Amino acid sequence: MATSESTVRVRIHGAAGEVTGSCYEVTTDRARVLVDFGMFQGALAQEARNAVAPEIDFADVDAVLVTHAHVDHCGRLGMLPRLGFNGPVFATEPTAELLPRVLVSSASLQQLRIEEAKQGSQPVARVIEPPELATPHPGIVAPPPILFFHRDADKVRKALRALPFLEWEPVADGIEMRFLHASHVIGAASIELRVERPSGGEPIHLVFSGDIGPMASPLLAPHQWPDRAPDLLVMESTNGARRFPRSGQLQSLESILTEARERGQRVLIPVFALGRAQTVLFMIAQAAHDGVLGDMPIYLDSAMASRASELYARHPHLLEASVRRECLRGRNPLHFPQLHTLMSRRESEALDRVRSGCVILAGSGFCDAGPILRHLKLAIDQPDTRILFAGHQVEGALGDGLLRGATRVEIDGATLDVRAKIDRIEGVSGHADAEDLLEWVRRMPGTPGRIVLSHGSQQAREAFAQELASTISCPIDLPSLGDTIAVS
Ligand SMILES: [Zn+2]
């Protein structure tokens, strides 16, 4: 598609055949903007990539546009001040509220990992048996380098400009943008760009999907689509090779909670602070409404998840219609009488003494760090413990090992037999599955000029490209890192 008449170029700086590190550079003859600047996540080798800034003239970037507050989309924004960027950062209102907290917490975590490495106290969470699932002890490893400090996060906070959904805003010379609701987490958006042609006439339209939520979220308002088909659509394909069951999740949860209450079991649910925590809390709130919980306490052991949850109630227009109505009547969709929010480590440690049946939601969602490790260490060898997984697990993490049948694990120096019951609820995801991704494209007002698949494993985007090709007739690209797509 690259021709001498090309007027917009999109360079892929991350999330090419993988699910982290989202970053796209949009360049015209008059302007340069970035869409997202996310962290690479996963093994240490992946994290080491974060310290290498992409080949971008950051001093020449007019604006940075952020789809949402997940670290794989926004985590490297804290590097911007020291890379020479001095412009505005545009985000939706909820994202602009969350972003400074996410960056400050990331800066603290980077510092903590340096300290842990010095003291040899890095968290260890791994499978020992059976041998086919065993993961090696990481030993003492050098932590990833510091990317930014609190003061850098503060500079980004000052550069933030919050925009409402659907309103066009000029962000650079000849470029306007607007946010479209993506139904993924609170504040998550797709980004639509309208780029003037030097010769005048119909502008060039680009859409960056960001992360796309399921078509029928029970908690969030439906998606918004552009008014015309984009000339270029850059879309995620995380679940491009998966199809989830459409119903039964709440029933499964209710039956697990009923059993746990009757038998006095402790249920541990690994969650991420933004997205999975609220999805699960909303389901538990429904279970509470259905009378399933009785007086069994539910503990949310994550200050960040609690703050993110507050945002849902503060932005009722971004919630599903019936949830919004309840919210406007003063009923917080993520609150119920049995819920206790823990805001400190001391409060978290007090849970160790609770002997009756209870539910604990704690991070990380992959069981590779965070307070969930303490709860697992205390209770994983007890037969009256249940560990409930709702959502995807990354290969190699302890959570994945437990789902595959680990029988003995090591958590921070303790070797423990797994006697806890492992439960899984399929189909709880903040990401659309293949069917919903297809539906999202079909609901565009016309066929896009070209589709670029990003933010998915190579296998997921190849599978999804095949499905797309059988329903939509336009060129589909699976670019590599550093590739440039030109649109004219
Ligand atoms: Zn996301």
The tally of CA atoms less than 13 A away on the side-chain side of residue 217 is 30
Question: Which residue in 422, 75, 386, 430 sits closest to 278, CA to CA?
Answer: 430
CA of 211 from ligand 1 middle (Å) equals 5
Assigned token pair, 125: 């969470």
- Which residue ranges form the domains of the chain, and what is each CATH number? 8-119+144-242+430-487 (3.60.15.10), 249-425 (3.40.50.10890)
Q: 274 CA to middle of ligand 1, Å?
A: 9
This prediction has a pTM of 0.95
Cα–ligand 1 centroid distance for 377 (angstroms) = 29
CA pair distance 376, 367, nearest whole angstrom: 9
Ligand 1 centroid to residue 232 C-alpha, Å:
21
Helix (H) or strand (E) holding 175: strand 175-181
Each of the 488 residues of the chain gets a pLDDT tens digit; together they read: 444 455 899 999 999 988 899 999 999 999 999 999 999 988 778 888 999 999 999 999 999 999 999 999 999 999 999 999 999 999 999 999 999 999 999 999 999 999 988 888 888 999 999 999 998 887 777 888 899 999 999 999 999 999 999 999 999 999 999 999 999 999 999 999 999 998 888 999 999 999 999 999 999 999 999 999 999 999 999 999 999 998 999 999 999 999 999 999 999 999 999 999 999 999 999 999 999 999 999 999 999 999 999 999 999 999 999 999 999 999 999 999 999 999 999 999 999 998 889 999 999 999 988 999 999 999 999 999 999 999 888 888 899 999 999 999 999 999 999 999 999 999 899 999 999 999 999 999 999 999 999 998 999 999 999 999 999 999 999 999 999 999 98
Residue 14 Cα, ligand 1 centroid: separation in angstroms?
14
DSSP string, 79-112: GHHHHT--S-EEEEHHHHHHHHHHHHHHHHHHHH
Rounded Cα distance, 346 and 355, in Å: 17
CB atoms under 10 Å from CB of 8, counted, come to 24
How much distance in Å is there from the Cα of 430 to the middle of ligand 1? 7
The 10 Å CB-count burial string (b at 16+, else e) for 54-65 is bebebeebbbbb
**Residues less than 5 Å from ion ligand 1, measured at CB:** 70, 211
Q: Cα of 467 to ligand 1 centre, how many Å?
A: 23
Distance separating alpha carbons of residues 409 and 380, to the nearest angstrom:
9
Query: Rounded CA gap, 408 and 419, in Å?
Result: 9
The rounded Å distance from CA 352 to ligand 1 centre is 32
Please tell me the distance between residue 15's alpha carbon and the centre of ligand 1 in angstroms: 12
Ligand 1 centroid distance, CA of 294 (Å): 34
